[in-house]
Structure formats: C-alpha cells, structure tokens
A and B are shown apart, each in its own frame.
Chain A
C-alpha cells in the first residue's frame, strides 16, 4: 500500500497516457467501422468476406501484431503508432461486425416508412437507420472500449508507457503492490469509460431509457459466446 501512496503522481500520469492511447483506437475504430459495417450489411458476399477477414484479424495475438508492425510497415520499434495501429485494427474488426448487426436490427417496416416519406438514402441512413441501430452499436462500442483499455497495457513490452508500465516495472523490481495497482487502475479506467458510454447512450437515445429492449441485451450476451475476446487477449 505504501508503494501506491508514494507513487500517486506516477499512477496519475500513466493513467492519462493510458487514456490517450486508448481513445484514438476506440474513436478511429468506430468511425472506420461504420462504412465497412454498412457494406457488410448491404452486400451479402462482400460482407461475408469482409467479416471473415475481420474475424481472422482478431485471431492475431496483440503482442505478435504490436511487435511485428514495425517490421511490416516500417515504423520504429519504439513508436507509439504501433500500439495505436494494432489496437485500431482490432477495434475495426470487432466494430464492423457490430455495425452490420446493428443495421440488421433496424425494423424493416420503419425503414420502408422512411423511404415512402421520401427520405433520400443518405438522409435515411443518418436520420433513421443509424439512430435506431444505436443500442446495438453502443453494445459493440462498449466491448471495443473495454478490451482496448485492457490491451493498451501490452504496449509496455515495447516501451510504450501506459499503466502497463506498472506491470513490467513491478515485475522486474518484484513489487507486488505495483502490479496490483496497475491491474486495479486499468480495470477501474475500463469501468469508468464503460459507464460514461452508457450515460452518453442514454442522453443520445432517450427512447431506450424506459424499455431496455430485449434484443440489445441478447446481442450483448451472445457476443460473449461468440468470443469477441480472442486474439485481443494479449
């Protein structure tokens, strides 16, 4: 416990680094996945290929991807962009499937009503499909956010400072409280971001507040069985 009290500023600084490293992949992953997920939902065969590739991408162990990226794309081994790019790839891989599922969850009748009212396809997507897909999108985004925050720690192996630094440093110096602090703070960070996403979701989608729809709950649950976690593991 003393170690934690003596190093509060270090933990604080690393937490900020950690957040900074996590936010970019989460946001980028979400943005890139929207067109990809749309394609996967719209075009059957292209979509199947796309989602299969995304699934395979996700089986690549993160440590392997992070350390192999400099070799593949020529970045420096110590560059922060390796972690950012690797985690963005994972985020895109999970999220594009979520986007496809989310768009599929929108009631066809509602969509047809929008067409009948004369919505152009662009306006229909942003005005009808996208907001109604919101709850399932949010479920996917929460998975992405939590697993990204956990994965950022692996960057410590290539010297990218995050709360993962407490793991490598604590292990080398045999300080158990240091590792424990890293674990607890990382998980707390994940829970806080997850909670924030839920709050933002409630603010943006007031209609979900009253009736926590069964379909959302279900899709969030099946995502466990389906193994959203694999390669992300480490």
Chain B
C-alpha cells in the first residue's frame, strides 16, 4: 500500500499548513458548512415534524417528501442553486442546497419520534390535565428524542458528505483538495483528502451514537433496544 504512505505523507507534510488553502482551514470550513446547514434545517424541520407528529396531519405529505428527496441528485442541486443565485452569492446557494438535503431526515426523525410514543401514555398525560403544549414538550418530545437524534445523525452524515462537493464550486472545504487532486491527477492528494472526509464522517457518526446512548429515556437502564436500529 505505497499510495497510502504517500497519502499520509501528503497529509502530514508541512506544506499542508500553507498554500492556497491550509488543510486545517479546509477542515474548519467543512465543519462550519455542515454545522450551519444542519442547524438551519433543524430549526425548520423539528417544529414542523412535531406539528405533524402531534396532530397527525400532513403525515402522508411528509412521507412522500422524504421519499422524493432521496431521488434528488445533490450534486445537481448545489450547482443549480449556485448558478441561480450567482457566483457572488454561491455560499448562500450551497447552504440552501445542504439545508434542503438535511430537512427530510430531520423531519422524519421528529415526527416518527412523536408518533412512536405510546398513545396510552399521551392519553394518560391528557387525563391528568396536561395542556397540548405540555404533552408535546414534556411527554412526546423527550420520549421521541432517540428517533429525533437518529434523524439529525442521518442529516449530518448526509451533509458532511455533500459539503465535499462545495470544492467544485470554489467554496473550499476538504473537497477543494479532492477536486484539485483530480484536476492535477495527484492520487496521494485525492486519497489523503478523502481519508479526512471519511474520518470526519465516522467521528460525527460516533458522536451521535454516544448522544443516542445518553438521551435514551431512563438513562439506558430501560428495556434493551436494538442499538443498530438507529445507526
């Protein structure tokens, strides 16, 4: 595996701290795009998902939307929005694309979480005099948290992967180094930068796995759930 050594050499070379886009800065941009996009998507999708889950209205629409969203080629969506908004506002275009890609998973996680709550639990809450808001915030939201985290996890992984394509529209990120490597036919650079994206994705996945464990109702002492079900 000579090329892996070359890739590692590329990664650890002192040149990575300088040049057009230092590696650390690229990673920072990558994480920044991911975080901003997921946060905006969450701000839109969580309330909407709770509304759908709590009222049971619009569920068909949400299911259809999630299904259709899978068919969208994210690469095309990014390029389209960047061109439509113009190169001077390409950052906004790209972020809109990432947000649109992140919304379906979070929406599904939010409404599925609320809907997975035992109806008897909700009825019990209602019968002890909780208002609808209290039921949502104190019963449904906490009990549905694991599924919501699952949705956030999917969305984050999807966005962190897709942000790589920002390199193609000159927005930096780790994708910058992959695209540059492609253009210059530098295999060690392509592999090195790809490894960083993979490590970043795996780290985020692990982080969400830990959060899922932490938010499990009853602190993990409850019935053993199949852990894989949320991965």
A residues neighboring B (CB under 8 Å): 48, 51-52, 55-56, 59-65, 67-68, 70-72, 77, 97, 143, 146-147, 149-151, 153-154, 156-158, 163-164, 166-168, 170-171, 174, 176, 179-180, 182-183, 186-187, 190-191, 194, 221-222, 224-234
Contact = CB atoms under 8 A, between A and B. Distances in A.
19 contacts: A63-B175, A64-B198, A68-B194, A71-B3, A154-B73, A157-B75, A157-B182, A174-B83, A179-B80, A183-B72, A191-B71, A194-B71, A226-B230, A227-B153, A227-B154, A231-B158, A231-B161, A233-B74, A233-B162
B165 interface: yes
Contact of A229 (B105, B164, B191, B201): B105
A231 B194 CA distance: 12
Interface of B: 3, 7, 63, 66-68, 70-77, 79-80, 82-84, 101, 104-105, 108-109, 112-113, 147, 150-151, 153-155, 157-162, 164-165, 168-169, 175, 178-179, 181-182, 185, 187-188, 190-191, 193-195, 197-198, 201-202, 205, 228-231
Nearest to A100: B228
Given A52-B228, A233-B159, A64 B80 contact: no
Contact of A230 (B109, B154, B187): B154
A130 to B, nearest CB: 22
B185 A234 contact: no
A179 B24 CA distance: 32
Given A179-B83, A231-B201, A233-B161, A224 B108 contact: yes
A231 B175 CA distance: 14
A150 B71 CA distance: 6
Contact of B79 (A55, A63, A170): A170
Given A68-B190, A147-B70, A233 B228 contact: no
Contact of B73 (A174, A186, A222): A186
Contact of A149 (B71, B80, B198, B201): B71
